[in-house]
Amino acid sequence: MTIQSPDRRRRLRRALALGLVLTTTTATLTSTSATAGPPRHGAPDLGPNVTIFDPGMPVGEIQATLDAAHARQVDNEMGTARHAYLFMPGTYGTAEQPLQIKVGYYTEISGLGASPTDVTINGKVEVYNRCLQDGGTANCLALVNFWRTLSNLSININAAGQDGCRSSANFWAVSQAVSMRRLNVSGGNLSLMDYCTAGPQYASGGFIADSRLPSVTNGSQQQWLTRNSEVAGWSNAVWNQVFAGTVGAPDDSGFPDPPYTTRATTPLSREKPYLFVDAKGEYQVRVPAAQRDSRGISWGTQMTPGRTIPIRDFFVAKPSDPVHVINSQLARGKHLLFTPGVYDIARSIQVRRADTVVLGIGHATLTAVNGAIPLQVADVPGVVVAGVTIDAGLEESPVLLRVGSRHGRNAGTPQNPTTLSDVYFRVGGPHIGRTNIALEVNSDHVLIDHTWVWRGDHGVEGFTEGVNGDTDRWRTNTGRYGAVINGDHVTATGLFVEHFQRYNTVWNGEHGTTILYQNELPYDPPTQADWMNGEVEGWAGYKVGDHVKHHTLYGGGVYVFNQNNPSIHTENGFEVPETPGVKLHHIMTVNLSAGIIDHVVNGVGAAADTTRIGAPVYVKQYPTP
């Protein structure tokens, strides 16, 4: 295997420098699955890229199908293939013949039960380090293990047949845009790093919600959010490990050693909708209800509270469906289910009806064409958008997802917030992308539950390689703002925003709350002049508007790696108004080996410079009590 571009070499060198230790082009999609084809078990037609297993199938047949899928996807980081592998209720694998699943790019593994306990995998579901050749040396790490989903099933860990190291845990070595939801894991340990491969073994995730877990090894994970779950134990931390509403979470009184941030409850939560098959064999979508000040799993003693929508009330979209057909179905009152694939969107998909559910499976991807806004949600409450990736296209879009037409219409309600779950954004990566803003939230009472908003720092965009490669990316792959939050009472649980060319996040609304924020400033400003905010050197990674009176952040990190010009300065990682109602808890900056952040927040905190590579500068609370 060879590395595809010098950009990846630079990312690897950046990883090696950290020295962490433990303390637009869319392809026509065709079926590649041996069991895909006509609908099974009375299922709706979910397209050729959805495979449904039932417990009567031979374990060897299921294993062969999933092994082939992993072989195709393990290195397909910038490809167009999208797949979902769904398991009917029942048990898969035996003590003697466990089912050992490895999950590659753009792959969803999910159970079709009403509860996670309805589908049991005797075996393992894993992601290992991706091993790349750099100058003839294998570098094995998880820093680019993106875009995969695991949900709604039980894993009885059985490592029969695996070697000594591999038998020691169920490995989930991932980074951004990867979610674990509604899991019931038992019989062994869960490791969020892969310590069985040679190499630096770094990882940069991640997100778990609504799951019952055994002892968890955080390992080399730079940051992680565990929300509304149960853990038997949690070992070690690196920079920014956050827990909200999690039974068994570690105490955070010793912050920053270890760097834990723990909230007993989650102020606002809503679990992601999920597809399931009921006792009559009918396909349904369960839409969980919003919860306030919640703690623990939603499914322990009863079905997750919420509403059930029959699949017949959804328009099941394929990549070949034109937008005017999708909008017509939405206007008729249908909900929307995107099957796996890449959708060219040359005019906006318009969600105008309250309580509409837009659910993607298999990492369905909407790509802007001709500067379109791929998805717009009107000034209505209770809309749920989940499991969708939105890509910028060659012509600049004003925004990629807009929620609410403008601030002040008060579309949301406290009891029924519009919710975005596992909604991911890309500006560049697989192709050149351009947008002014990726995510714009204008409505009040919106919940953002896990998002990765990414302006690509590497990829196969066709930029000029060599000396001017990074300069070309700065001029060509353009994204000014990652997330712009104008609505009031907006909550974000797991907000990951990276590499935008001005403010990565701008929060203008009142009474906003963020629980875990992760940011890398852009790698590629060519000069300091290109990275100036008026007279100020650089743009903060997290900006709260000057007029805001109330805002709260728990657990935030801003990282710097100015690889194109290591002399560049950024004055502050965080910039907020000086007022008692704006409070930041457990924040930090860190240098990844190039560039300088002069202060953590508002001139407070030491410089994150190259004298302290990989060693965070922490501020426990701002303003100081």
Q: What is the spatial distance between Cα 46 and Cα 163, in angstroms, rounded to a whole number?
A: 37
Q: What is the spatial distance between Cα 471 and Cα 474, in angstroms, rounded to a whole number?
A: 5
Per the document, the length of the chain is 625
Q: Is 556 helix (H, G, I), strand (E, B) or coil?
A: strand
Q: What is the spatial distance between Cα 426 and Cα 94, in angstroms, rounded to a whole number?
A: 40
Those residues with Cβ within 8 angstroms of residue 164's Cβ, 6 or more apart along the chain or in another chain: none
**Burial bucket for residue 327 (CB in 10 Å: 0-12, 13-18, 19+):** middle
Given its phi and psi angles, is residue 329 left (phi above 0), alpha (psi -120 to 50 degrees) or beta?
alpha
Q: In Å, how far are 16, 130, 198, 219 from 139, measured between CA atoms? A: 9, 8, 7, 17
Q: What is the spatial distance between Cα 443 and Cα 385, in angstroms, rounded to a whole number?
A: 14
- Rg of the chain over Cα atoms, rounded to whole angstroms, equals 22
What tokens were used for 35? 């069991």
Q: What is the spatial distance between Cα 487 and Cα 410, in angstroms, rounded to a whole number?
A: 8
Q: What is the spatial distance between Cα 267 and Cα 272, in angstroms, rounded to a whole number?
A: 16
Q: What is the DSSP letter of 77?
A: T
Give start and end residues of each alpha helix (H) in 74-115: none
What tokens were used for 442? 């204008």
Do 403 and 485 contact (CB within 8 A), yes or no? no
Those residues with Cβ within 8 angstroms of residue 145's Cβ, 6 or more apart along the chain or in another chain: 127, 129, 130, 173, 174, 175, 178, 203
Residue tagged active-site, from 520, 535, 571, 578: 520
Do 220 and 241 contact (CB within 8 A), yes or no? no
Catalytic status, residue 520: yes
Residue 257: CB atoms within 10 Å: 9
Which residues carry out catalysis?
Answer: 520
